[in-house]
Amino acid sequence: MSTPSASRPLDLIIVEDQKEVREGLRYLLGLDPRVNMVRTYDRVETLLDALDTLPTPDLVLMDIGLPGMSGIEGVRAVKKRFPSVSVIILTVFEDTDRILESIRAGANGYLLKSTKPDILLEQILGAAKEGSPLSPRVAKRLLEEIQESGEQSSLSDYGLTPRERQILTDVVNGFTYREIAARYNIAASTVKKHILHIYQKLDVSSRAEFVRKAIREKLV
């Protein structure tokens, strides 16, 4: 429960190497009554120096394509020393790799420069307080990523029999022939036979390959 309408005006920082974009953003954001102060830098290194002495901002708008350190490295550096500062990426790039890397670096949002100014303003100032501003095209990439990661599970069944599946699980869990035999009250030689059959079906020839393959493609 916060008090959105009565919150303290924000101190912002913009890191952007193109002067026109930088000044345009500063002007746009500076007009809004929710903003107290806007500082700008043209590269990450300068920002990091300044953070040592000047007051800590509430929010940093970070470009990715910068001379020297990239904005993604910038996110990592800023979040490491000031975890509570919101850092929002503002860039032209919308590839999944850069989006994911930015998020893993600790970014609190990811906006595209193609966003219309009024929506951009609302996203930055409105969304940042309670959530993470994301451009819809960026969000789309994330949803696709999440959907794909959940799918790859049941791809290959191989021709394993129920008994073989049981034993496969035990092998992955580190049991030996004898131990598995004891679990099912069968002879160790039988367990061995089963495992050799599984090896043929999975096309492997050692415990290590077996465990790796079993874990990498689903079961267990």
Partner DNA sequence: GATGAGATACACCATTCGGTGTATTTCTAA
Partner DNA sequence: TTAGAAATACACCGAATGGTGTATCTCATC
The binding site for DNA (CB under 7 A) comprises 159, 161-164, 176-178, 181, 184, 186-187, 189-190, 192-196, 199, 205-208, 210
| CA atoms of 75 and 68, how far apart (whole Å) | 14
Residue 202 Cβ vs DNA, minimum distance, rounded to whole Å: 11
CB of 209 to a copy of itself, least distance (A): 4
User: Closer CB to DNA, residue 89 or residue 180?
Assistant: 180
Q: Which DSSP helix (H) or strand (E) runs through 11? A: strand 10-15
Asked if 142 touches a copy of itself (CB under 8 A), the answer is yes
**Angstrom distance (rounded) from CA 184 to CA 69:** 59
Residue 58 CB, shortest distance to a copy of itself, in Å, is 16
Residue 217 tokens, joined: 């493609």
Question: Does the footprint of a copy of itself cover residue 215 (CB under 8 A)?
Answer: yes
Distance of closest approach, residue 173 Cβ to a copy of itself, in angstroms:
7
Q: Which is nearer to DNA, 129 or 213 (CB)?
A: 213
Q: Checking phi first, is residue 219 left (phi over 0); if not, alpha (psi -120 to 50) or beta? A: beta
Q: Which stretch binds a copy of itself (CB under 8 A): 5-13, 64-72, 102-110, 160-168?
A: 102-110
Closest approach, Cβ 168 to a copy of itself, in A, equals 11
CB contact at 8 A, 43 and 61: no
Size of the site for a copy of itself (CB under 8 A): 45
Q: How far apart are CA 210 and CA 54, in angstroms?
A: 57
Q: Which two tokens stand for residue 158?
A: 């191989």
CB 115 within 8 A of CB 123: yes
Least CB distance to a copy of itself at residue 57 (A) = 19
Alpha-carbon span 115 to 205, nearest angstrom: 55
Choosing from 84, 174, 185, 203, the residue that interacts with a copy of itself (CB under 8 A) is 174
DSSP letter, residue 162? H
**Binding of residue 188 to a copy of itself (CB under 8 A):** no
CA distance 120 to 102: 19
Are the C-beta atoms of residues 72 and 46 closer than 8 Å to each other?
A: no
By CB under 8 A, is residue 204 in contact with a copy of itself? yes
Under the rule (CB under 8 A), what is the footprint of a copy of itself? 100, 103-104, 106-109, 119, 122-123, 126-128, 130-140, 142-143, 146-147, 150, 171-176, 204, 206-212, 215-216
